[in-house]
Structure 1
Amino acid sequence: MKDLGAEEQMSNEAFWLFKQLNLHLEQEWKFQPREKGLSLIERTAENENTLCPRLRNAKVEDLWSLTSFFGFTTETFVLAVNILDRFLALMKVKPKHLSCIGVCCFQLAAQIIEEECNIPSTHDVIRISQCKCTVSDLKRMEKIISEKLHFEFKATTALTFLHLYHTIVLCHTSERKEVLNLDKLEAQLKACNCRLVFSKAKPSILALCLLTLEVQTLKSIELFEIVLRVQKHSKISDSDLLYWRELVSKCLADYSSPECCKPDHKKLVWIVSRRTAQNLQNSYCSVPELPTIPEVGCFNESESEDSCEDMSCGEESLSSSPSDLEGNFFFDLKPKSKWKALNCQS
């Protein structure tokens, strides 16, 4: 079996990739959540005053929903989860504070990864996430998180290794580039991030588990040999790989089953002012007579947080638009690319 370390001299791209891989392998331990803190959460039973695995996992699913709604990248989601877990592993957090912490982690990750024109205002994030806190609450919490993590937010994550491994494999294979689907691998990583146990795995091992399972599905001998060489270069033992790969395989099998509760994007609902809600409740026939609500989610910041009510879109998902009848009377908080276009134009 050839050593990839020798092959890396074949091209500048390969040399740079392995240089980056070695750098991240050296640094990954710095950005892993404290295992003792994660184990403490794992052993915690559900009650009103302590954080249990179910609440943590549910909050990560909320982060996934927020990331999807605003059209942010997988990198933003994975980094938000990393910041969240690192903080939870350091501090004893009460469940009532988890919502505020989650939104803070989401905003911190977005500020690092996303373009400034695509980042929503704090007011919009509070309304869309239905976080029961104020802007000042978020600022105080952001200060606490920043100090506890020593302002080290940009981290080496499993996604970092997944991208590196994927590119390295494609550099050394004669297979078609589209055979190894990166989007599919990223989606599988998101599913793993929704389980607390995988925060205890080394990012390099978790990424390699996903890659080996996908290569195993493709039944490609060439890809399998390349992955083995990547494993050797990364100094990942067979025992560690087999242990975590079994857990990853079970997680993905559970997640793909119809019984699994996946992130509920329908929890993110359209929000209108109380006055508009009352008018809509009186009669849908009188909709044309209602005053037009400004677009792009504009609202008076002097209004209190209690001066609005939320209205669900019913069975429709966020990616679907409200009906023509209702469309003019909802705040124009649109998901994905539409949200970005509106912010860039403003």
Structure 2
Amino acid sequence: MKDLVTMDNTSNEAFKLLKQLSVHLEQESKYQPREKGLTLIEATAENDNTICPKSRNAKVEDLWSLTNFFGLSTETFVLAVNILDRFLAIMKVKPKHLSCIGVCCFQLAARVVEEDCNIPSIHDVIRISQCKCTVSDIKRMEKIISEKLHFDFKATTALTFLHLYHTIVLCHSSERKEVLSLEKLEAQLKACNCRLVFSKAKPSVLALCLLTLEVETLKSLELFEIALRVQKHSKVNDKDMLYWRELVSNCLADYSSPECCKPDHKKLVWIVSRRTAQNLHNSYYSVPELPTIPEYGYMNESESEDSCEDMSSGEDSLSSSPPSDLEASFFFDDCKPKLKCRNHLYPL
């Protein structure tokens, strides 16, 4: 079986992809959460006054829902999880601080990945996440996280390798691009991110497991051979592949089952109390009518000023009505107590 380097002698694009792959393979260990810290979290019981696997996984699902709600990319979600795990793996954190930490990781990831115009305001994130933090709490916690991670947030993650592997396979394949769905692979990766155990896997190995499992379902011999060449080039041994592939396969099987509790992707439904609904109903009738715009000629200055005043007086009542057609996920736990972020975090 030929290796990818031999095949890439005739392809400039493929050669560049393999060069990128080599660079990321060298960097991936730098951005992996400390295994010792992850092991301590795994061994923590639910009733202990520190983070346990269940609370960590629930917070990752909240991050997934926040990402969906604000319409941000999969890269933002995966990076937020990476920042969260790297921080939890080096700091002893009390459960009451986890909501504040999660919001901070989400904001830090969004600033790295998203365009400035797409980054949600901290006030909106606090309100939607129901984290019960103040802006000052968030700023103090962001400072702690930034210092502990040395302000190095742009990480090499499993999503980085998943995109590279997907592009490399398509570059060498004669099959249609629609056959191997990157969107499906990303969804599977998000499911794995919701389980702490996969933070202990090398990002390159986790991505390769997802790729090969999906190739197997497609029953394409050509794609399977290319995936094996990618494994060889990435220097991933068969023992690691078999171990993590079984865990990934079990995770995806559990996640696809109807018994699995997962973030809600249904249309957002606004629930309004009877009193609020009555106030909204009354405010509708309190909006003054706008003056009729003449079809011919133009209004004088006094008419123009009156018209502007009427529009502004109606804006408050209009803006107070919740939008009913906003599509997003809404999956959050009950309100947490207000977080105090100072002097409660201890290095492991």
Equivalent residue number for residue 329 of structure 1: 321
Letter in 2 for 1:249: S
1:59 is the counterpart of 2:64 = no
Separation in structure 2 between the aligned mates of residue 63 and residue 247 of structure 1, nearest angstrom: 23
Q: How does 1:247-258 map to 2 (within 5 A)?
A: 247-258=247-258
Q: Which residue of 2 aligns with 1:243?
A: 243
Partners of 1:123 and 1:291 lie apart in 2 by 28
CA distance in 1, matches of 2:40, 2:238: 28
After TM superposition, where is structure 1 displaced by more than 4 Å over at least 4 residues in a row? 265-272, 281-285, 331-336
Q: CA deviation at 1:330?
A: 1.6
Q: TM-score, normalised by structure 2?
A: 0.81
CA distance in 2, matches of 1:189, 1:285: 45
Partner residue of 2:38?
Answer: 38
**1:286 Cα deviation after fit:** 3.5
Aligned to 1:18: 18
Contact 1:61 1:263 in 2 (8 A): yes
Q: Is contact 2:280-2:321 (8 Å) kept?
A: no
> Which deviations, in whole Å up to 9, do the C-alpha atoms of 1:59-112 show, x marking residues without a partner?
000000000111111000000000000000000010000000000000000001
Correspondence for 2:105: 105
Check 1:36–1:116 CA distance in 2 against 1; reply closer, same or farther (3 A cut). Answer: same
- SS of 1:177 mapped into structure 2: coil
**Could you say which residue in structure 1 is the equivalent of 2:233?**
233
Letter in 2 for 1:224: F
- Percent identity over the alignment is 77
Deviation at 1:288, TM superposition (A): 2.3
Asked if structure 2 preserves the Cα contact closer than 8 Å seen for 1:271 and 1:331, the reply is no
Shift of 1:257: 0.2
Structure 2 SS opposite 1:206: helix
* 8 Å CA contact retained: 2:46, 2:52: yes
Letter in 2 for 1:288: Y
- C-alpha deviation, 1:47, in angstroms: 1.6
**Residues 1:126 and 1:240: Cα distance change in structure 2 (over 3 Å):** same
For 1:70, give the aligned amino acid.
F
**Aligned partner (choices 263, 284, 299) of residue 288 of structure 1:** 284
The alignment's TM-score, normalised by the length of structure 1, stands at 0.81
CA distance in 2, matches of 1:119, 1:195: 26
Contact 1:128 1:268 in 2 (8 A): no
Q: Which moved more, 1:4-13 or 1:169-178?
A: 4-13
CA, structure 1 residues 283+105, in 2 after alignment: closer, same or farther (shift >3 Å)? Answer: closer
**Conserved 8 A contact 2:157-2:203:** yes
* 1:19-71 residue CA offsets vs partner (Å, 9 max, x unmatched): 00000000000000000000000000002611110000000000000001111
Report if aligned partners of 2:161, 2:207 keep a CA contact under 8 Å in 1. Answer: yes
Distance 2:150 2:102 in 1: 18
Kept in 1: contact 2:269–2:324 (CA 8 A): no
The DSSP-based 3-state class of the residue aligned with 1:169 is helix
1:259-312 superposed Cα distances (whole Å, 9 cap, x missing partner): 00001457987599xxxx6842557754523679xxxxxxxxxxxxxxxxxxxx
Shift in CA distance, 72/283, structure 1 to aligned 2, threshold 3 Å: closer
Larger radius of gyration: 2
Instruction: Let me know the Cα RMSD of the aligned residues.
Output: 2.4
SS at match of 1:247: helix
Unmatched segments (≥5 aa) in structure 2: 289-317, 329-348
Aligned to 2:301: none
Name 1:169's counterpart in structure 2: 169
Q: Distance in 2 between matches of 1:29 and 1:101?
A: 23
Q: Does 1:204 align with 2:204?
A: yes
Residue 3 of structure 1 deviates from its aligned partner by: 1.2
Distance 1:47 1:96 in 2: 13
Over 3 Å counting, the alpha-carbon distance change for 1:2 and 1:222 in structure 2 is: same
CA contact (8 A) 1:32 1:199 kept: yes
CA distance in 1, matches of 2:89, 2:286: 50
Contact 1:127 1:271 in 2 (8 A): no
Does the CA contact (< 8 Å) of 1:128 and 1:269 recur in 2?
Answer: no
Q: Which amino acid aligns with 1:329?
A: S
Retained in 1: the 8 A contact 2:111–2:119? yes
Contact 1:84/1:102, CA 8 A, preserved across alignment: yes
Larger RCO, structure (CA 8 Å, separation 6 or more): 2
